[in-house]
Amino acid sequence: MSGFRGSDDALDREIAAIEGIAKVRVRRVSAELRELERDLRELRRERARRRADATQMVPETAESDVATG
């Protein structure tokens, strides 16, 4: 960034404005991250549910075939 040519007051205002912009951006990113984490938790729960359902759906004939081998 090039040197600031305005007055000290203008410099202070510019600093305050950029700090405000940064805070807004951080809040937005934080909110997006929380949403992504929530979605990820939901997807992982769904995957676990499907895996549990799949293990319960093993046909009995497959289990008896293994036993009689």
Locate the domains of the chain by residue range.
Answer: 8-62
Q: Tell me the C-alpha to C-alpha distance, in Å, between residue 69 and each of 10, 55, 57, 59, 62.
A: 85, 20, 20, 16, 10
pTM given for the model: 0.61
Give mean pLDDT in consecutive 10-residue pieces for the chain, a chain of 69 residues.
Answer: 85 96 98 98 97 84 62
The reported pLDDT for the residue numbered 52 is 94
What is the structure's pLDDT at 60?
Answer: 67
pLDDT attached to residue 15: 95
- Predicted local confidence at residue 4, as pLDDT: 82
pLDDT reported for residue 3? 83
